[in-house]
């Protein structure tokens, strides 16, 4: 566990750099969210992998519920701004959850009734919240920095799995995937440069590089959408060979 007071002191020393780069990261994050929602409704699919939707929702909501920590215990400008930004992300993530409930059954489990499918997703949300509470305790992450590291890392592998399962780029587009990549690069760059020693060790740097490179690989894959369909995939075929 890092010392939150030391990390916050480092953030204070680099206030304007962090505001600029992390502000850009959040702008990219919202761009990705809007692009995903528009494309998902257009293609009538859920646009974000189910694991990511549930994980991000319970993780972001846990910080939103930590109002006392952000505004009274630490009473720090960075946490207050981060709290406000995540209030907006939770609204987007509730829309993602709605899209899973609206479109997911037809794609994933058409044999289930609407009630059965919704109950399955609701159970997954409860399990995700329980696992996240356990994980958060073990991370030793009072400022939710490692959480955001993990949240960003979760996207690319689950998106790759979704692309391969669908055999298409339905629900995704280049704007969203490249915005996600820039968000990852900006956030990881800020934490490496200005959040202090706990976040610029070789282990963290390798983690950041792999995560950003994975996001870029997904963006490149989506950008190489091809007209000819893969066998059995319909009209949205994509060449998944990088």
The residue ranges of every structural domain in the chain are 4-236
**Contacts for 60-69 with beta carbons within 8 Å, 24 or more apart?**
60/86, 60/89, 60/90, 60/93, 60/151, 61/90, 61/93, 62/132, 62/133, 62/136, 63/144, 63/147, 64/90, 66/144, 69/142
pLDDT of residue 137: 87
For the record, the structure tokens of 11 come out as: 């953030």
pLDDT value of position 225: 66
Identify which of 169, 181, 185, 175 has the alpha carbon closest to the alpha carbon of residue 224. 169
CB environment 141-164: b (16+ within 10 A), e (fewer): bbbbbbbbbbbbbbbbebbbebbe
117 touches 109 (CB < 8 A): yes
Tokens 């915005």 found at = 179
Which value, in Å, is the radius of gyration of the alpha carbons in the chain? 19
Query: Residue 237 carries which DSSP code?
Result: B
- Angle in degrees, CA 195, 199, 203, rounded to 5: 165
Q: Please tell me the distance from the alpha carbon of residue 102 to that of residue 138, in angstroms, as a whole number.
A: 35
Dihedral sign of CA atoms 101, 64, 146, 31 in order: positive
Give the 3-state secondary structure of residue 108.
helix
In this prediction, residue 240 carries a pLDDT of 44
Q: Are 120 and 61 in contact (CB under 8 A)?
A: no
Q: Positive or negative, the Cα torsion across 130, 85, 37, 153?
A: negative
Q: Which two tokens stand for residue 126?
A: 């409860």
Residue 1: per-residue pLDDT: 85
Residue ranges of the alpha helices (H) in the chain? 4-13, 15-43, 50-64, 67-68, 77-108, 114-139, 145-166, 174-194, 202-223
Residuewise pLDDT in 10s, the chain (242 residues): 899 999 999 999 999 999 999 999 999 999 999 999 999 999 999 999 999 999 999 999 999 999 999 999 999 999 999 999 999 999 999 999 999 999 999 999 999 999 999 999 999 999 999 999 999 888 999 999 999 999 999 999 999 999 999 999 999 999 999 999 999 999 999 999 999 999 999 999 999 999 999 999 999 999 986 433 333 333 344 444 43
**pLDDT given for residue 242 in this prediction:** 36
């Amino acid at each position: 566990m890092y010392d939150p007071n030391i990390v916050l002191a480092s953030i204070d020393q680099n206030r304007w750099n962090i505001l600029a780069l992390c502000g850009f990261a959040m702008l990219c994050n919202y761009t990705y969210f809007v692009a995903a929602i528009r494309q998902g409704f257009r293609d009538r699919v859920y646009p974000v992998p189910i694991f990511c939707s549930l994980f991000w929702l319970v993780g972001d909501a846990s910080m939103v519920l930590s109002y006392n920590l952000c505004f009274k215990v630490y009473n720090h400008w960075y946490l207050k701004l981060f709290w406000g930004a995540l209030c907006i992300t939770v609204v987007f993530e509730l829309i993602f959850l709605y899209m899973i409930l609206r479109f997911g059954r037809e794609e994933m489990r058409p044999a289930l009734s609407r009630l059965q499918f919704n109950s399955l997703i609701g159970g997954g949300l409860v399990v995700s919240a329980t696992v996240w509470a356990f994980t958060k305790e073990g991370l030793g992450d009072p400022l939710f920095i490692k959480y955001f590291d993990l949240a960003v890392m979760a996207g690319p592998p689950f998106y790759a799995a979704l692309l391969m399962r669908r055999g298409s780029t339905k629900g995704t587009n280049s704007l969203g995937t490249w915005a996600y990549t820039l968000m990852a690069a900006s956030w990881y760059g800020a934490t490496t440069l200005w959040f202090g020693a706990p976040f610029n060790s070789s282990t963290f740097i390798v983690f950041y590089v792999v995560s950003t490179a994975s996001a870029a690989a997904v963006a490149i894959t989506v950008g190489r959408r091809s007209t000819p369909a893969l066998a059995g995939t319909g009209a949205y075929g994509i060449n998944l060979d990088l």
